[in-house]
Amino acid sequence: MKAEPTAEKLIAELAGGAIVPLAADHWPAVAGTFKPVDEIATGLGGVILLVRRPLPGSRKLAWALVEDAKPGEKVIRPLASEQEARALIADRLAAYERMWDG
């Protein structure tokens, strides 16, 4: 089994543009690294967290989404801006709405 990344490694991977899978039970260990901005209940796909993430060697914060990928796993997805993040959230919510409609 692959070891879960430390907060520092997670920050570096996200800064490199990687989408990082993470065991859901490991999220609490790294959650304090991120600044929560919004929590969106999807109805079908769990909760989407919009967070600010640190950038290595900088005081600036970047953007990311934390999503429930499948039971027991989260995915942290780096994004370039709040606008990009909100657009992806809207896309996800529209997809879940279509699922409800059949």
Please give the pLDDT value at position 45.
67
pLDDT band at 1 (very low <50, low <70, confident <90, very high): very low
Please give the pLDDT value at position 102.
58
Q: What is the pTM of this model?
A: 0.87
The DSSP secondary-structure symbol of 4 reads P
Q: Which two tokens stand for residue 2?
A: 């692959």
Q: Which two tokens stand for residue 9?
A: 């490694």
pLDDT digits (tens, 9 = 90+) for 65-96: 999 988 999 999 999 999 999 999 988 888 87
Dist. CA 86–CA 50, nearest whole Å: 8
pLDDT digits (tens, 9 = 90+) for 3-59: 788 899 999 999 999 999 999 999 999 999 999 999 998 777 688 999 999 999 899
